[in-house]
A and B are shown apart, each in its own frame.
Chain A
Amino acid sequence: MPDTFLQFLVMVPICAGLLALGIPRRLKGFFALLASFAVLAASFLIFGKESSLKLGEIGFGIALNFRLYHFSSFIVAAVSAFTFFSALYCLSFFNKSNNPRQFHAYLLLSMGFTNGAVLADNLVAMLFFWEGLLLVLFALISQSGSNAAFKTAIKAFVIVGISDLCMMAGIALTGRLAGTLNITEINLMPQGLAGIAFILLVIGAVSKAGAMPFHTWIPDAAVDAPLPFMAYFPAALEKLLGIYFLSRICLDLFKLQAGSGLSVLLMSLGAITIILAVMMALVQKDYKRLLSYHAISQVGYMILGIGTALPVGIIGGLFHMLNNALYKSCLFFTAGAVEKETGTTDLAKLGGLFRKMPFTFISFSIAAVSISGMPPFNGFFSKELIYDAALERGMIFYLAALAGSFFTAASFLKLGSAAFLGQSRQEHKEAREARPTMLIPMITLALICILFGIFNNLAIKKLFQPVLLGSLQSNHFFDFHTNITLVVITLLVLLGAFIHHLIGVKINGSGLRAVDHIYHFAPFHKIYVWQEKKYFDPYEIAIKLGRRISDLLWRIDRMIDWVYDSLVTGLVYTFSRTIHRLHSGYYVVYLIWALAGAFLVMLFAFK
């Protein structure tokens, strides 16, 4: 394989995307499918190969360099696969009535940008593609053209844009400290200034992955953006890219030490994200919003795993990244199928769909048990690795991850029983099984979930272990060892979640309201209410603060205006009126003034 082959992985999707902007609407879907298939095939061809390409130097150390190695080839393949599945899914998801204008084009563009960011071996070149994704993100969310979608797109743009700015600063600082911008040549210890650079870069990476507190646009986008966007972007693409870059930061750019403060910081961020997002997911009454909070919560596991800086944790985190992309895309695809058939994703209006959509239900169930961490599905294994590492670094992180597992299971039990079990609704009589082009991605992803679960050792050895080669002492980790105690605890927790669900159904009356007692539990209730009022959304807080500040400035401005408009002019007019009145027109008065003036001149001059 010639080295120049690399640029085709980037240029083909970008050019195809630009081309897709112009071709007729009917053909867009097929065109996107074809282009993504071509890139998918290419990425499988080069899987696992080593290659590097220097396209040119711009100056100031900025160069358009690409590097392919095991890790990036694997990410590129995954990205291409998800793009292909999304394009396939879109074929029948979009019909004449809800066909967005340029969704497919942006799909291809985002694939190109992601491949570029993954393959780039220069921080600035990577930033270029990274920012391209920001534009595509805005365009994709605002596809439906509604006002709400536009607002959400702006919100996403601002939040991601600010974190990208942090990353930009981080890149500048890193380049300054390392003396080079080429990723392969950078090797810093995260201390002092380098520590600040590390934090800035991590902010960029984790906010791309959707960790707290940069997550708030995701639940809004779940409602406003077209569903394939959710399955593709926050569920798969951004996790792959964000976590890929996070692990590059922790492994290659900087040497994150186990037990260092930054490691604890990352782990805390992961643990907090797990707990808070899953607590929010638990009480959602909308299929898509519930999934979107899980998309945030699962990032917590990955960050926690990588943040441990232990080989087992990093491999767990990366494995979880892939697993999450698989089952979360699958779950969003089922949500899309349900939305397409019933016209709603409001759980209160759904129910009993398992008879009408058996394959969708089966795919959902597989993905749901995977995300809950049930053996022998893939989510179980990656979570076990993370538990293992977390326990080594501190009981509190392990407990947080475990609690996250419990609530994840609880919320999916609620979701499944509300949407698919229970009474069938009259108004959804017309609902039937999803189209084949939508079923194929779902079922394929669900099958991969099972395969990765069963052949977990193979997946870990083939895909993830080589990542650590040359970075950490890779001999520390050989393969997955079953820690019986941890497995038993996990199983007990899942059993507890199931029992909790049954009790919840008994108490509250239905599967949908199975967790209402948590929602109404006094200490949480207030927080939930506040959260629903968006008191914790940094974007909303910033906007409110901005309004306050501008209001204050406006008042100050009024005061300044008053000084000019009223005080100064008032004074001038008062004086002016007085002087005007004094000029009565009688010459005697003027005479007296003149004589008095002369007198005063004498008086003062003689003093």
Chain B
Amino acid sequence: MASVFILAPFLLLIILNLPFKFLRRGIAFWLAAGLLLIQILSSALHQRIAAHIPPDLLRLFFSFKLSLDTLALVMLFTIGIVALVALLVARATMATERHKFNFINLLLISLTGMNTTVLVTDLFSLYVFIEVTALSVFVLMAIEKNKFAIEGTFKYLILSMIASIFMLTALAFFLLSCRDISFSGIQAAFSAHSNVALLNVAVMLFLCGLFIKSGAVPFHGWVPDAYSEAQAAVSVLLAGIITKVAGVYVLLRLFGTVFVVSANLQNVIMFVGAASIVLAALAAFRQGDMKRMLAYSSISQVGYIILALGCGTPLAYLGAVWHFFNHAIFKSLLFVNSASLQKKFGSTDMAIITGMGSQLPVTSATSLVGLLSTAGIPPLSGFWSKLLIIIALFSAGKIAYAAVALLTGVLTLAYFLFLERNVFFMRTDMTLESKGGVPLSIKLCEVLLAAITIAVGLGFPFILKILHYTWL
């Protein structure tokens, strides 16, 4: 069954690029949307339908193994939702049909890359598909050939290359020390305690590469430019899911289940997480552009996941996975909000757009949900995942880190309320001209994501029960 998640987008990509003109019209959008809906549904209902699915088709052609565990399902579900939202936003905001079609193609490539990254069970394939995803991102970011977007892409490219070098080097070390670089092989090497020094170096190199990919402080230099200068739909896709899967998911997978992490390294991971939380939140304060502020906020929230990962207890891991999902949802929501501002006023500069709450009631209300959830206000989804992380830190005796995680929530609330006051609640700037209404598809995305945020928050016991069976 797992291979369907990989083959379907790949086949759709090929079909769309067959030389038939009608494929380049609206049909491409509907096909892609249908594909994503199927992905969302099948990952959500996997337990129910697994029995009726024929065995893995891909095995017939390739020899690599896939695994479809709960973590992978959560990822596939999240990928489906965010990609669908990005697709809808792209339909509303992309300038020309050609751009839209290109976007769909690139989305399908990155979807293939992400789905495979989530499903593979060996380190080399993992690396390859991270790169496949990254490749599509470079093109996506530069899709409108905007000068600043290209600058952002360049920065991402450079740092991404450094990350690739780190990871490749690490791969070489793994090959040297374990010979078998499937996850189980690496686990076996760790438990055999042979070549410990080499393995440690490899782990650290891989860690540094992944820090760059996920944009933790101080490896985050590319993040603000990349997120804020990209086209609106690309921002949603990039900030919402791609960098999260390529960086944070891999961290969760490898450092949660595959590698054996020494106490020292745990401390380093936690420190990087805490530094990301605090410094990015502080940096977000000074941002005048909504998307840049969201970018810094994204770094800060990734910090929570990394901090929980470093803590290493099952409860913290559960919190990290859940926060991953929540963050993907509410950060996508906030980027969609910025997209609707961009669409309506042609800017996301908070100095220009003031007091637009009355003109954008849906955007205003949903952004409030998104930012309150980000800041961890009960009963929204962000509150519960942060609560789990803080409880886990506290019970693991990391009280200082728990305090940092807790207090930065105040900081988060502060800069987001600043955003909210400025953009939505202040006196309306009458001189600002509207450049057209917000399309229905964007409104739909906003409402959908806000509804998920609220529903997850309110359905806390139910979701906790599902995740609980898996990790506790």
Q: Which chain A residues have a beta carbon within 8 Å of chain B's beta carbons?
A: 572-573, 575-577, 579-580, 583, 585, 587, 589-591, 593-598, 601-602, 604-607
A593 to B264, CA, bound (A): 21
Docked CA distance A543–B427 (Å): 43
Cβ of B166: which chain A residues have Cβ within 8 Å of it?
A: 598
**Is B283 touching A576 in the complex (CB atoms < 8 A)?**
yes
Tell me whether A587 and B155 are in contact (CB under 8 A): yes
The answer to whether A575 and B200 have CB atoms under 8 Å apart is: no
Contact in complex: A597, B224 (CB < 8 Å)? no
B159 partner, pick from A579, A583, A591, A607, beta carbons under 8 A: A591
Give the complex CA separation of A591 and B265 in angstroms: 22
Query: Is B222 an interface position by the 8 A CB rule?
Result: yes
- B218 proximity list for chain A (CB < 8 A): 593-594, 596-597
10 nearest interchain CB pairs?
A590-B221, A580-B286, A598-B208, A576-B285, A593-B218, A597-B218, A579-B283, A587-B155, A576-B282, A594-B219
In the complex, how many angstroms separate the beta carbon of A126 from the nearest chain B beta carbon?
52
Chain B contacts for A607, CB-based, 8 A: 264
Question: 17 A–B contact pairs at CB < 8 A?
Answer: A572-B282, A577-B286, A580-B283, A585-B225, A587-B221, A591-B162, A593-B218, A594-B221, A595-B162, A596-B218, A598-B166, A601-B268, A604-B264, A604-B267, A604-B268, A604-B271, A605-B268
Q: What 14 additional pairs, Cβ within 8 angstroms, besides A587-B155, A596-B218, A601-B204? A: A577-B286, A579-B283, A583-B283, A587-B154, A587-B221, A590-B220, A591-B158, A593-B221, A597-B211, A598-B219, A601-B207, A602-B208, A605-B200, A606-B200
Residues in chain B near residue A602, CB distance under 8 A: 204, 208
Contact A605 B204 (CB under 8 A): yes
Q: Say yes or no for B272: interface residue by CB 8 A criterion.
A: yes
**B275-290 residues at the A interface, CB under 8 angstroms:** 279, 282-283, 285-287
Q: Check B272 against A576 for contact (C-beta < 8 Å).
A: no
Inter-chain contact A579/B282, CB cutoff 8 Å? yes
Contact between B282 and A601 (Cβ–Cβ < 8 Å)? no
CB distance from B452 to the nearest CB of A (A): 31
Proximity bits, B206-227, A CB within 8 Å = 1, else 0:
0110011000001111101100
Say what secondary structure dominates the interface of chain B. Answer: helix
- Report the minimal beta-carbon distance from A574 to chain B, rounded to whole angstroms: 9
The verdict on A583 contacting B224 (CB below 8 Å), with A572-B282, A572-B285, A573-B285 known, is yes
* Cβ-based interface call for B175 (8 A): no
Chain A contact residues: helix, strand, loop or mixed? helix
A587 CB → nearest B CB, Å = 5
* A575 and B282 contact, CB distance less than 8 A: yes
Chain B 156-175 per-residue mask, 1 if CB under 8 angstroms from chain A, else 0? 00110010001000000000
Q: A575 to B204, alpha carbons, bound, how many Å?
A: 30
Q: Complex: how many Å from CA A258 to CA B221?
A: 92
Which residue from chain A places its CB closest to the CB of B265 in the assembled complex?
A: A605
Q: Mark B19-45, 1 if CB is under 8 A from A, else 0.
A: 000000000000000000000000000
B261: nearest residue on chain A (CB-CB)? A605
C-alpha gap A200/B16 in the complex (Å): 95
Partner of A601, one of B224, B272, B283: B272
Q: Verify B283–A597 contact, CB threshold 8 A.
A: no
> Would you give the shortest CB distance from B180 to chain A, in whole angstroms?
24
CA distance in complex: A598, B285 (Å): 27
Name the residue among B158, B200, B221, B283 with the largest chain A CB count within 10 angstroms. B221
The distance from the CB of A602 to the nearest CB of chain B, in whole angstroms, is 6
